[in-house]
Amino acid sequence: MASGSGQPAFTPLAAKSPFELRVDLGKHVGESEVRRALATGDMGFLHSFTTGSTVDGCGVRVVAWTAGCMWRCLYCHNPDTWTMGNGIPLSLTRATDELRKYRHGLRAMSGGFTLSGGEALMQDRFAVKLLAAARAMGIHTALDTNGYYGDRLTDEELETADLVLLDIKGWDPERHRRLTGMDIGPTLAFARRLAARRRPIWLRFVLVPGWSDDPHEVAEIARFAASLGTVERVDVLPFHQMGRFKWKRLGLKYELDAVSPPAPEAVERACAVFRAEGLHAY
């Protein structure tokens, strides 16, 4: 059975991948309830849970994808996660119970839990509480973020993430603004703060031909990453078109139709720039 939005009347929390288009699942939640959720973190809005990820932190991981993001990256492959109201509203207790099912397996596989999005720190209270709950179960935790709202977390709260997957999407401020809609400053400030507190970082960098592949800019990002001293790994992620269908289905103007994924040699060249700074890049 389908609802008026085209979604099944009951959408399961688990998804095969975040590439499932999900809309309006939290639309019925009133504004005051949303405000209370944001203030307390006792309820969150999630696009989905996925299991078995090997690309969102060390080992095999369960990933919770939050709904809500204030950035507008031209290459975003999950624009349905921009709006909190598209996510499934669920209590912190239910999210924790869901995670509890996997705790033994995750520990056995030296894996963990990753909170991603959307932008997980749009729901910073929920993020901190869910990460803390995971840690209390002995599960390794990772926070995948663009860092823009990093200052919403106290130093103590930063410790709820054993690892931060920090997305740096560009270097030139003007180009970064055109690519993401937002300033790069807060992301870099968050990176420096993590480094000052000796928090482990995996840096993620999406290589988009014509947008983020300028060798000078890649070199600047690599120098910055190396200067932090706590970047354990760099993932150079090739741009792809897997999310294009979502833009079309949501009626959004997609500007990267004509952009092809980078050649493997271009990805390797970018990795080499990071390696030249002494970083482990893949």
Least distance in angstroms from the C-beta of 78 to ligand SF4: 6
Amino acid at 123: Q
Give the integer Cα–Cα distance in Å for 107 and 232.
21
Of 71 and 205, which CB lies nearer to ligand SF4 in the complex structure? 71
Minimum gap (Å) between residue 116 Cβ and ligand SF4: 9
> What is the rounded distance in angstroms from the CA atom of residue 168 to the CA atom of residue 188?
8
Write the CB contacts of 192 (distance below 8 Å, at least 6 apart in sequence): 228
Evaluate whether 43 touches 79 at the Cβ level (below 8 Å).
no
Q: What are the residues whose beta carbons fall under 8 Å from the beta carbon of 188, sequence distance 6 or more?
A: 168, 224
Between residues 76 and 231, which has the closer beta carbon with respect to ligand SF4? 76
Nearer to ligand SF4, 66 or 133 (CB): 66
CA 183 to chain centre: 17
Query: Could you give the CA distance from residue 139 to residue 26 in angstroms, rounded to a whole number?
Result: 28
* Shortest spacing between CB 186 and ligand SF4, in angstroms: 12
Q: Which is nearer to ligand SF4, 117 or 150 (CB)?
A: 117
Between residues 37 and 76, which has the closer beta carbon with respect to ligand SF4?
76
Site for ligand SF4, rule CB under 6 A: 69, 71-73, 76, 78, 81, 117-119, 146
Smallest gap from residue 93 Cβ to ligand SF4 (A): 26
Q: Which lies closer to ligand SF4 via its Cβ, residue 81 or residue 160?
A: 81
Residue among 72 and 280 whose Cβ is closer to ligand SF4? 72
Q: Considering the complex, what minimum distance in angstroms separates the CB of residue 164 from ligand SF4?
A: 14
Query: What letter represents residue 211's amino acid?
Result: W
Residue among 186 and 226 whose Cβ is closer to ligand SF4: 186
Q: How far is the CB of 119 from ligand SF4 (least distance, A)?
A: 5
Q: How far is the CB of 75 from ligand SF4 (least distance, A)?
A: 7
Q: How far is the CB of 182 from ligand SF4 (least distance, A)?
A: 8
DSSP β-bridge partners for residue 112 = 61, 140
Whether the Cβ atoms of residue 121 and residue 71 lie closer than 8 Å to each other = no
